[in-house]
């Protein structure tokens, strides 16, 4: 290890049940360096940072971590903080109802026998805030700050802990241009003071403007570490997406039919912030094809789907037509009745009732099909219907009375899929349907999608995995910051082209 | 040859019993707990506790709390809570008393209006919970205070009574006997026989349709054994009441309510939606369930059930006073929770709640028979509740891992 190397992570391997999230990854950061960590969603960036910050304690992974030439074994976040590592998460970890001062010293209060010295804390807060260029009253509550200032308070908090290595995970995702510039200026200032920074971002412009060196991760492996000067954006994207498409995708030849669903000039405002979230989105969905929607986290893909389904957004304008008929969808029930089904991402939160059995989960959205007068459930029909889907989708479960929470991820996803297939949709929308499930189950789900398309169902596939988009879809719409930034036929789409559209570069 | 077949049968029997125990662990534990409590009390009271007279009385005492626990179970299953049912039951009882005593309304009219009032109060609370998104804890806490005040207001702080005999008969009379044989109530006997007959009929009809659909069914002997066991339990319980004075009307009301609401919970779309909402609100919403409406409806149902409880309690007391219904909500919540209802929502059964109510009332009854000081009565009831919730926590943790 050379003298000016502050952090060395060597051969880090981290496995989750069924998935190797990190496969012998190495990362070296120099003192006073801004080091960018890039890669697709799921490449392993966040996992690597969780290993570094002690979220995954020593023993749950293989490999070495050295800081300042000393071997480190973190059992908790506290220990990594003591070694000088501070992580600033995508979701801010501040207590919104507390003041800046209270937040900065949360967990490390200046106190004797449990009694806090507020005067000393306030003074120290003032000084730290000045260091990050914030002229704020330390008694301001976090809730009254914009997201950008909150981000800076997070950094101030990290500095108060004498951080030597600062990890920023997508720090600018929610920031305006001015806030982003302020943040970048402060990171440069910290660099001059010898603080090292690991900068994770999808926004390649920022990476090129800021980073001294770049490490690319892909599929849980280190692809390369380069000086920023030696790379072009094009080369970087090639490194990020570089893999060959394999035979995972059994797509046959398809001939797209007539347009079944139109979405015209769809604009939606954010429910909470009131800002515009989706701008003037128009889409056509055809029979017999899979339409892909690609984009980075935060591009507005899930928001688009949820707003179409009647559960998100306000001041919605634009129209949806299904088979020529104009729809007014106020809630999921309207959507389901019209023939639109949405397989949401995050099956545990939005898809399943984990404490209910497989049978009841499958029939939940179509009880009217098996109930007399929509009141009394015909339990025999219910068993029959759920058994039908369990065998058709090859759901591995000891019985239909097994609780959904006890199944593996892939089988849980198949239960969710069954629930929506039972509604017999004309348009089936899938949001990240293969996230977090193993290759075998993935390929089964692709086969199911293909057979649905053959039966004439229109499928919309939202995915962050570009190979999946390219392998499964006939057309790809790319979203960037709430707009459609381009549309490509898969025949001439490449991962590079999609990445360019998705990063807005 | 024969022994092989026999051991195969035994294996099957064991597998079925083990499976059933595993699936209904909570219910079986609670049933076992109830029986142990009864056995303990039969010793500490020198056998008085298990006499038909006392048990019949116990069932009658349980009626009010059991009724409330039925509604409370649905509320908790949906992911809410209702702290106001005691006050509301007291208020509705007071209103019924005023209707009959001051205004001279007939018993059916009084009951009808009381039920409607219950529904309206439920709708009012449900509106705040579902459409205004105020936590049920707060809405019903407000109701608990407000209706306690309203009760004092409408009664003027006085006891209002007496109720007409036809009203009191709801909680004070039994199925009338025709032939007046001593220690034997013939109509009750007939009722039990019919109940057992219906049970057998329904069970075998279910078996037949299951066979028609090609589903697996229990082997015939097992099916007969199961029905036989159930019949013995019903018969024994019935026997206690037949040899005392017959089946109390209040017990009949609770029984019918149990059957109806169990059916609603298990066999209707509405019931299924309640479990889904309590199990995972977001997933339920995305599955097209109208969460607001169903929440409103479950509170309306709770209101009607509270009115029934208020009527049963008033009929038992014979007159309304300002303290009626005090702390009933806590007994009802305790009964639901002891009966296996999970406070985090999505899990719970009506028969479980009835068992829970019996546990609570058996403690009351037994400890009173023992002349135990009220101090210890409260402490013991509190500890039992804590134990029940702890068990709920443990089983849930086991399920998650």
Q: What is the pLDDT of residues A175-215, one digit of tens each?
A: 766 778 888 888 898 888 888 999 988 777 788 989 999 99
Q: What is the rounded distance in angstroms from the CA atom of residue A500 to the CA atom of residue A160?
A: 38
Residues on chain B touching A415 (C-beta within 8 angstroms): none
Tell me the DSSP string of B371-401: T--HHHHHHHHHHHHHHHHHHHHHHHHHHH-
Name the nearest CA neighbour of B268 among A373, A337, A361. Answer: A373
Q: Tell me, what's the pLDDT at B400?
A: 47
| Separation in Å, CA of B264 to nearest CA in chain A | 8
Q: What is the rounded distance in angstroms from the CA atom of residue A347 to the CA atom of residue A497?
A: 30
> Which backbone phi and psi does A24 adopt, to 5 degrees?
55, 55
B287 touches chain A (CB under 8 A): yes
Nearest to B288 among A332, A356, A377 (CB): A332
Which run of H or E residues covers position B32? helix B25-44
Q: Do B286 and A311 touch (CB under 8 A)?
A: yes
Please identify which residue in the block is written with the tokens 């804890």.
Answer: B137
Q: Tell me, what's the pLDDT at A1?
A: 43
Query: Using alpha carbons only, what angle is made at residue B257 by residues B252 and B263, rounded to the nearest 5 degrees?
Result: 130
Q: Considering the domain boundaries, does residue B274 fall inside one?
A: yes
Tell me the longest C-alpha to C-alpha distance in chain A. Answer: 78
Asked if residue A6 has pLDDT above 70, the reply is yes
Q: Considering the domain boundaries, does residue B35 fall inside one?
A: no
Q: Do B270 and A365 touch (CB under 8 A)?
A: no
Q: Do B209 and A380 touch (CB under 8 A)?
A: yes
Q: How confident is the model at residue B1 (pLDDT cuts 50, 70, 90)?
A: very low
Q: Does B201 share its domain with B94?
A: no
Q: Tell me, what's the pLDDT at B379?
A: 92
Q: How confident is the model at residue B401 (pLDDT cuts 50, 70, 90)?
A: very low
Nearest CA in chain B to A419: B287
Q: Is-contact A37 A239, C-beta < 8 A?
A: no
Residues A338-389 have pLDDT tens digits of 999 999 888 888 999 998 999 999 999 999 899 998 899 998 899 999 999 9
Q: Does B252 share its domain with B207?
A: no
C-alpha dihedral, A38 to A41 to A45 to A47, nearest 10°: 180
C-alpha dihedral, A202 to A203 to A207 to A208, nearest 10°: 130
**If DSSP codes are grouped into helix, strand and coil, which group holds residue B314?**
helix
Q: Do B276 and A364 touch (CB under 8 A)?
A: yes
Residues A393-430 have pLDDT tens digits of 988 888 888 888 888 778 899 999 999 999 999 999 99
Question: Quick count: other Cβ atoms within 10 Å of Cβ B265?
Answer: 20
Tell me the C-alpha to C-alpha distance, in Å, between residue A36 and each of A173, A203, A224, B112.
15, 11, 12, 73
B216 touches chain A (CB under 8 A): no
Interface predicted TM-score (ipTM): 0.83
Residues on chain A touching B400 (C-beta within 8 angstroms): 405
Q: Tell me, what's the pLDDT at A91?
A: 62
Q: Does B82 share its domain with B151?
A: yes
Q: Does B361 share its domain with B265?
A: yes
Q: How confident is the model at residue B398 (pLDDT cuts 50, 70, 90)?
A: low
Q: Which of A443-452, B1-10, B109-118 has the lowest mean pLDDT?
A: B1-10
Domain with CATH 3.40.50.300 in chain A: 5-241, 245-339+425-505
Average pLDDT over residues B277-285: 93
Q: Does B107 share its domain with B236?
A: no
| Separation in Å, CA of B129 to nearest CA in chain A | 19
Which residues does residue B268 pair with via DSSP β-bridges, in sequence order?
A376
A494: burial class by Cβ within 10 Å (0-12, 13-18, 19+)?
A: middle
Q: What is the rounded distance in angstroms from the CA atom of residue B401 to the CA atom of residue B381?
A: 31
Q: Tell me, what's the pLDDT at B2?
A: 47
User: What is the token pair recorded at A409?
Assistant: 């991820």
Nearest to A377 among B272, B279, B283 (CB): B272
Question: Which CATH number is A245-339+425-505's, of 3.90.1150.10, 3.40.50.300, 1.10.3430.10, 3.90.420.10?
Answer: 3.40.50.300
Q: Quick one: DSSP state of residue A467?
A: H
For chain B, percent of residues with pLDDT exceeding 90: 56
Q: Does B292 share its domain with B375?
A: yes
Residues on chain A touching B273 (C-beta within 8 angstroms): 367
> Which backbone phi and psi does B329 adopt, to 5 degrees?
-60, -40
Q: Tell me, what's the pLDDT at A363?
A: 94
Tell me the C-alpha to C-alpha distance, in Å, between residue B61 and each of B54, B66, B171, B189.
10, 9, 9, 22
Name the nearest CA neighbour of A349 among B273, B281, B342. Answer: B281
Q: Is-contact B49 B367, C-beta < 8 A?
A: no
Which domain CATH number covers B352? 1.10.3470
Nearest to B282 among A350, A368, A371 (CB): A350
Q: Does B278 share its domain with B309?
A: yes
Q: Is-contact A163 A195, C-beta < 8 A?
A: yes
346-385 in chain A: CB under 8 A from chain B: 349-356, 360, 364-365, 367-368, 371, 374-377, 379-380, 383-384
Cis preceding linkage at B162, omega within 30:
yes
Average pLDDT over residues B84-96: 96
Task: Indicate the average pLDDT of chain B.
Answer: 88
Q: Do A377 and B279 touch (CB under 8 A)?
A: no
Length of chain B: 401
Q: How confident is the model at residue A243 (pLDDT cuts 50, 70, 90)?
A: low
Higher pLDDT, A301 or A505: A301
Q: Do A375 and B269 touch (CB under 8 A)?
A: yes
Q: Do B272 and A401 touch (CB under 8 A)?
A: no
User: Which residue out of B287, B291, B347, B348 would a mutagenesis test of the A interface target, given it has the greatest number of A Cβ atoms within 10 Å?
Assistant: B287
Q: What is the rounded distance in angstroms from the CA atom of residue A397 to the CA atom of residue B335?
A: 34
Q: Do A332 and B399 touch (CB under 8 A)?
A: no
Name B264's Cβ contacts closer than 8 Å, sequence gap at least 6: B270, B271
Average pLDDT over residues A85-100: 80
User: What is the token pair recorded at B242?
Assistant: 């037949």
**Angle in degrees, 0-180, between the axes of helices B25-44 and B374-400, rounded to the nearest 10:** 160
Q: Do B286 and A309 touch (CB under 8 A)?
A: yes
Q: Is-contact A478 A486, C-beta < 8 A?
A: yes
- Domain C-terminal end among B206, B227, B246: B246
Q: Tell me, what's the pLDDT at A439?
A: 65
Q: Tell me, what's the pLDDT at A90?
A: 60
Asked if residue A77 has pLDDT above 90, the reply is no
C-alpha dihedral, B97 to B102 to B108 to B111, nearest 10°: -30
Q: Tell me, what's the pLDDT at B52?
A: 85
Which residues does residue A429 pair with via DSSP β-bridges, in sequence order?
A342, A460
Q: Which of A13-22, A57-66, B235-244 has the lowest mean pLDDT?
A: A13-22
CA-based radius of gyration for chain A: 25
Asked if residue B218 has pLDDT above 50, the reply is yes
Asked if residue A334 has pLDDT above 90, the reply is yes
Q: Considering the domain boundaries, does residue B6 fall inside one?
A: no
**If DSSP codes are grouped into helix, strand and coil, which group holds residue A104?**
helix
Asked if residue A437 has pLDDT above 60, the reply is yes
Q: Is-contact A104 A160, C-beta < 8 A?
A: yes
A340 touches chain B (CB under 8 A): no
Name B276's Cβ contacts closer than 8 Å, sequence gap at least 6: A353, A356, A360, A364, B283, B284, B287, B289, B346
- Domain C-terminal end among B208, B225, B246: B246
Which run of H or E residues covers position A326? strand A325-327
C-alpha dihedral, A381 to A384 to A386 to A388, nearest 10°: -140
Q: Do B276 and A353 touch (CB under 8 A)?
A: yes
Name the nearest CA neighbour of A101 among A132, A81, A124. Answer: A124
Question: Quick count: other Cβ atoms within 10 Å of Cβ B203?
Answer: 16
Q: Does B213 share its domain with B301?
A: no
> What is the number of domains present in chain B?
2
Q: Does B183 share its domain with B164?
A: no
Residues on chain B touching A332 (C-beta within 8 angstroms): 285-288
| Separation in Å, CA of A93 to nearest CA in chain B | 24
Average pLDDT over residues A57-78: 87
Q: Does B278 share its domain with B306?
A: yes
User: What is the token pair recorded at A2?
Assistant: 């050379």
Q: Do B275 and A356 touch (CB under 8 A)?
A: yes
Question: Quick count: other Cβ atoms within 10 Å of Cβ B158?
Answer: 11
Residues on chain B touching A385 (C-beta within 8 angstroms): none
Q: Do B283 and A374 touch (CB under 8 A)?
A: no
Q: Considering the domain boundaries, does residue B329 fall inside one?
A: yes
Residues A110-161 have pLDDT tens digits of 888 888 888 888 888 998 888 877 788 888 888 888 777 888 888 888 888 8
Q: Do A375 and B270 touch (CB under 8 A)?
A: yes
Q: Tell me, what's the pLDDT at B116?
A: 97
Q: Do A377 and B289 touch (CB under 8 A)?
A: no
**Angle in degrees, 0-180, between the axes of helices B165-172 and B249-267, rounded to the nearest 10:** 70
B290 touches chain A (CB under 8 A): yes
Residues on chain B touching A419 (C-beta within 8 angstroms): 287
Q: Does B242 share its domain with B252?
A: no
Nearest to B279 among A337, A353, A365 (CB): A353
Q: Do A380 and B268 touch (CB under 8 A)?
A: no
Residues A33-58 have pLDDT tens digits of 999 998 876 678 888 988 998 888 88
Instruction: Count chain A–chain B contacts defined by CB atoms under 8 A.
Output: 88
Q: Considering the domain boundaries, does residue B16 fall inside one?
A: no
Q: Does B74 share its domain with B164?
A: yes
Q: Do B288 and A403 touch (CB under 8 A)?
A: no
Q: Do A379 and B268 touch (CB under 8 A)?
A: no
Q: Do A353 and B284 touch (CB under 8 A)?
A: yes
Residues on chain B touching A311 (C-beta within 8 angstroms): 285-286
Please identify which residue in the block is written with the tokens 């879809």.
Answer: A473
Tell me the DSSP string of A113-164: TTEE-HHHHHHHHHHHHHHTT----TT-BGGGS-HHHHHHHHHHHHHHTT-S
For chain A, percent of residues with pLDDT exceeding 70: 94
Asked if residue A245 has pLDDT above 50, the reply is no
Nearest to B285 among A332, A352, A380 (CB): A332
Q: Tell me, what's the pLDDT at A117?
A: 85
- Domain C-terminal end among B246, B266, B300: B246
User: Measured between alpha carbons, how far apart are the two ends of chain A, in Å?
Assistant: 37
Q: What is the rounded distance in angstroms from the CA atom of residue A465 to the CA atom of residue B383?
A: 54
Name the nearest CA neighbour of B300 among B43, B170, B176, B124. Answer: B124
Q: Long-range contact list for A439-444, CB < 8 A, 24+ apart?
A: A439/A248, A440/A410, A441/A408, A441/A409, A441/A410, A441/A411, A441/A413, A441/A414, A442/A248, A442/A410, A443/A248, A443/A250, A444/A393, A444/A394, A444/A410, A444/A414
Task: Indicate the average pLDDT of chain A.
Answer: 85
B46 touches chain A (CB under 8 A): no
Average pLDDT over residues A479-483: 88
Name the nearest CA neighbour of B283 among A351, A157, A341. Answer: A351
Residues A288-304 have pLDDT tens digits of 889 999 887 778 888 89
Tell me the C-alpha to C-alpha distance, in Å, between residue B91 and each of A366, A468, B70, B124, B223.
41, 63, 19, 15, 47
Q: Do B267 and A379 touch (CB under 8 A)?
A: yes
Please identify which residue in the block is written with the tokens 């109509």.
Answer: B187
Asked if residue A3 has pLDDT above 60, the reply is no
The whole domain housing B202 covers 177-246
CATH architecture of A5-241: 3-Layer(aba) Sandwich (3.40)
Q: What is the rounded distance in angstroms from the CA atom of residue A37 to the CA atom of residue A216?
A: 6
Q: Considering the domain boundaries, does residue B21 fall inside one?
A: no
Question: Quick count: other Cβ atoms within 10 Å of Cβ A219?
Answer: 16
């Amino acid at each position: 290890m050379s003298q000016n190397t502050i952090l060395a992570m060597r051969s880090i391997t981290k496995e989750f049940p069924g998935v190797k999230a990190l496969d012998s990854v190495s990362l070296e950061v120099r003192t006073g360096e801004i080091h960018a960590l890039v890669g697709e969603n799921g490449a392993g960036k966040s996992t690597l940072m969780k290993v570094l910050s002690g979220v995954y304690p020593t023993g749950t992974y293989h490999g070495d971590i050295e800081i300042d030439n000393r071997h480190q074994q973190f059992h908790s976040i506290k220990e990594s903080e003591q070694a000088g590592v501070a992580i600033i998460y995508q979701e801010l970890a501040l207590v919104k109802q507390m003041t800046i001062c209270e937040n900065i010293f949360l967990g490390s209060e200046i106190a004797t026998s449990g009694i806090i010295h507020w005067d000393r804390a306030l003074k120290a807060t003032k000084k730290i805030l000045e260091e990050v260029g914030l002229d704020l009253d330390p008694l301001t509550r976090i809730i009254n700050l914009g997201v950008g200032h909150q981000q800076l308070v997070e950094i101030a908090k990290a500095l108060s802990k004498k951080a030597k290595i600062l990890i920023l995970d997508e720090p600018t995702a929610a920031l305006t241009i001015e806030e982003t510039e302020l943040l970048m200026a402060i990171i440069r200032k910290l660099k001059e003071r010898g603080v090292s920074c690991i900068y994770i971002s999808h926004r390649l412009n920022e990476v090129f403007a800021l980073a001294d060196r770049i490490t690319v991760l892909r599929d849980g492996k280190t692809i390369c570490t380069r000086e920023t000067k030696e790379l072009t954006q094009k080369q970087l994207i090639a490194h990020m997406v570089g893999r060959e498409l394999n035979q995972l995708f059994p797509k046959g030849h398809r001939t797209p039919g007539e347009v079944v669903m139109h979405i015209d000039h769809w604009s939606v405002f954010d429910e909470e912030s009131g800002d515009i979230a989706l701008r003037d989105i128009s889409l056509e969905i055809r029979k017999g094809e899979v339409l892909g929607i690609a984009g980075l986290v935060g591009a507005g893909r899930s928001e688009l789907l949820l707003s179409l389904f009647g559960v998100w957004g306000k001041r919605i304008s634009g129209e949806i037509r299904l088979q020529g008929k104009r729809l007014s969808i106020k809630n999921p029930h309207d959507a389901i009745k019209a023939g639109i089904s949405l397989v949401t991402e995050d099956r545990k939160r939005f898809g399943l009732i984990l404490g209910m059995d497989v049978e009841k989960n499958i029939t939940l959205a179509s009880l009217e099909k098996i109930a007399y007068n929509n009141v009394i459930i015909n339990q025999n029909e219910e068993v029959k219907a759920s058994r039908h889907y369990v065998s058709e989708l090859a759901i591995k479960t000891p019985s239909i009375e097994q609780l959904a929470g006890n199944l593996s991820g892939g089988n849980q996803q198949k239960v969710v899929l069954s629930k929506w297939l039972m509604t017999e949709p004309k348009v089936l929308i899938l949001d990240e349907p293969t996230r977090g499930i193993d290759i075998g189950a993935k390929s089964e789900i692709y086969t199911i999608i293909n057979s649905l398309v053959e039966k004439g169902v229109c499928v919309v596939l939202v995915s962050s995995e570009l190979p999946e988009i390219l392998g499964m879809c006939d057309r790809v719409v790319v979203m960037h910051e709430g707009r459609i930034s381009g549309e490509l036929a898969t025949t001439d789409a490449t991962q590079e082209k999609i990445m360019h559209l998705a990063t807005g570069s | 040859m024969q022994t092989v077949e026999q051991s195969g049968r035994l294996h099957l029997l064991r597998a079925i019993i083990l499976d059933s125990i595993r699936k209904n662990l909570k219910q079986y534990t609670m049933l076992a707990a109830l029986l142990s409590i009864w056995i303990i009390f039969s010793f500490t009271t020198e056998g008085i506790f298990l006499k038909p007279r006392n048990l019949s009385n116990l069932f009658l005492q349980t009626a009010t709390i059991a009724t409330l626990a039925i509604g409370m179970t649905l509320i908790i299953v949906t992911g809410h809570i209702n702290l106001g049912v005691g006050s509301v039951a007291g208020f509705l009882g007071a209103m019924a008393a005023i209707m009959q005593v001051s205004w001279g309304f007939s018993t059916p009219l009084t009951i009808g209006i009381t039920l409607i009032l219950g529904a309206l109060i439920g709708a009012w609370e449900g509106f705040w919970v579902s459409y205004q998104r105020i936590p049920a804890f707060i809405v019903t806490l407000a109701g608990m205070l407000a209706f306690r005040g309203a009760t004092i207001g409408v009664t003027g702080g006085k006891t209002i009574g007496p109720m007409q005999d036809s009203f009191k008969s709801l909680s004070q009379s039994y199925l009338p006997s025709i032939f007046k044989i001593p220690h034997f109530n013939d109509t009750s006997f007939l009722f039990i026989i019919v109940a057992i007959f219906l049970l057998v009929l329904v069970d075998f009809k279910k078996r037949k349709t299951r066979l028609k659909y090609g589903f697996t069914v229990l082997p015939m002997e097992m099916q007969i054994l199961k029905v036989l066991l159930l019949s013995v339990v019903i018969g024994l319980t019935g026997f206690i009441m037949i040899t005392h004075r017959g089946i109390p009307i209040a017990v009949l009301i609770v029984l019918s309510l149990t059957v109806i609401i169990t059916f609603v919970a298990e066999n209707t779309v509405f019931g299924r939606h309640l479990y889904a909402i309590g199990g995972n609100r977001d997933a339920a919403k995305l599955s097209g369930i109208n969460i607001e409406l169903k929440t409103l409806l479950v509170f309306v149902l709770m209101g009607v059930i509270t009115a029934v409880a208020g009527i049963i309690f008033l009929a038992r007391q014979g007159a309304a006073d300002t303290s009626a219904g005090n702390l009933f909500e806590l007994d009802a919540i305790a009964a639901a929770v002891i009966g296996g209802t999970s406070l985090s929502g999505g899990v719970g059964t009506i028969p479980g709640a009835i068992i829970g109510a019996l546990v609570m009332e058996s403690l009351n009854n037994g400890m009173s028979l023992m002349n135990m000081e009220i101090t210890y009565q409260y402490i013991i009831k509190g500890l039992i509740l804590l134990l029940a919730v702890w068990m709920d926590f443990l089983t849930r943790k086991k399920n998650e891992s």
